[in-house]
Structure 1
Amino acid sequence: MAGSMNGAGKTNAHPHQSKIYSEFSRFYDKIFERIFFPRIARVIASLHIPFGARVLELGVGTGLSLSAYPLDCNVVGVDLAQDMLDQAAEKIRERGWHHIILRQMDALNLDFPSDSFDYVTAFHVVSVVPDASRMMAEARRVCRPGGKLVIINHFRSERPLIGPLVDLADPVTRKLGWRTTLKLVDIIEGAPVSIEQKFKTSPRSLFTVVIARNEKEIAAVG
């Protein structure tokens, strides 16, 4: 998902209009698999997803992460970019994954009832969507109370020298469809979540792993 930004970190273009996420979808895995997959696989394994758990992955793209999910859980992957989903669908057919389904869908307007999933994951997506706060609100809505929200993303460094330095790249990355200035607090402040883990998989990593518990109230019955 991508597009050019405007205002408070919002984009004008849709994901399928992004040069990286559309025109280069065929080469996406070759470029990013070595960079992203080991980290994603390690995080998914650490979740110990139980039998029959319902998992939603936002911005599933070409399905780079799909092989990391246990075969005995139920995974739904959504993305707006159909050309990316076509690549993911090919992986599913080739490997006979019957536990995974794909849907073309906007992560900002999810077509699922509330409390539909036990886990909602978003890998390298939060800084790409037009409205990260809205995406996280939708993630919390469709995740059951007590469920897990799992994010891997680049967030603006809190280090006084690193943060401003990386900010210099922001005008360029915005044209490619993502921003470097997003802070974690921008998407969780005031939200009913509790962060259970926040870490980097290596000291030099640019990416932060966040595992949070959805603390929203259980909906009243009747």
Structure 2
Amino acid sequence: MAHIQSHRSTFYHRLVHCYEWFFAGFFRERIRSTIKSLDIAPGAKILEVGVGTGSSLPAYPPHADVTGIDLSEEMLNLARKKLEELGRTNINLQVGDALSLDFPDGTFDYVMAFHVVSVVPDHERLLREMVRVAKPDGTLIIINHFKSERPWISTPMTWLDPLTRHLGWRVTLRYDDVVCSQPLRVEDRYKTSPQSLFTVVKARKQAS
């Protein structure tokens, strides 16, 4: 859940070090295992939107060309420190807006969004931008919480939604409203454990 929009809640921006300790730690292994499960070819161009403090960076293969963007300079500074420790030269980090990506159409083989969809003010625009910059038949990887179809889970989440919106994210976003609104062919959709609240989605960009 990286800091994407400057006009949304400043919760993460103000607590960037707490974010690194708690939120990034909570999501880290799920993100890294998802990246490592991909058969990323040498020379593949990858974009991660909302890279945050860079928890994902060690999982990317050194033979790929990786770009990570985030609106928070403070988070990117922490990510750059990780990058220095890794000694990796194939990863570029820069300030960028996930809702207005500064890349040409069809640039990337992979476009990643880890725990980001729920924190942007316009998830449809985010997905459109991700699809736009993906190459024809490019792959989108999304990890996110989606509203459960089980009432005993969805009802408490609905009660919590006003609070979480105040803090900067939504817990009632429906899977169909995100993934099915775009020209995508879903290849895989799964949870990393039966108890997980988060869904991993792997989808291909369909020809227009």
TM range (shorter): over 0.9
**Any idea what SS the aligned residue of 1:185 has?**
helix
TM-score under structure 2 length normalisation: 0.94
Aligned residue for 1:18? 10
C-alpha distance in 1 between matches for 2:15 and 2:151: 35
**Any idea what SS the aligned residue of 1:168 has?**
helix
Q: Are 1:28 and 2:19 an aligned pair?
A: yes
Aligned residue for 1:7? none
Residues 132-163 of structure 1, C-alpha deviation per residue, up to 9 Å, x if partnerless?
A: 11000000000011110000010000113321
**Any idea what SS the aligned residue of 1:181 has?**
coil
Matched length: 207
TM-score under structure 1 length normalisation: 0.88
Amino acid at match of 2:98: A
Q: Are 1:198 and 2:192 an aligned pair?
A: no
Aligned residue for 1:105? 96
Aligned residue for 1:158? 149
**Any idea what SS the aligned residue of 2:110 has?**
strand
Using a 3 Å threshold, how does the CA distance of structure 1 residues 180 and 138 change in structure 2: closer, same or farther?
Answer: same
Aligned residue for 2:167? 176
Aligned residue for 1:135? 126
Q: Which runs of 5+ in 2 are unaligned?
A: none
C-alpha distance in 1 between matches for 2:41 and 2:204: 16
Q: Which runs of 5+ in 1 are unaligned?
A: 4-10, 218-222
Residues 36-185 of structure 1: pairs in structure 2 closer than 5 A: 36-185=27-176
What is the CA-CA distance between 1:33 and the residue it aligns to?
A: 3.8
| Mean Cα deviation higher: 84-93 or 200-209 | 84-93
What is the CA-CA distance between 1:2 and the residue it aligns to?
A: 5.5
| Mean Cα deviation higher: 182-191 or 151-160 | 182-191
C-alpha distance in 1 between matches for 2:105 and 2:40: 20
Answer whether contact 2:3 2:50 (CA < 8 A) is retained: no
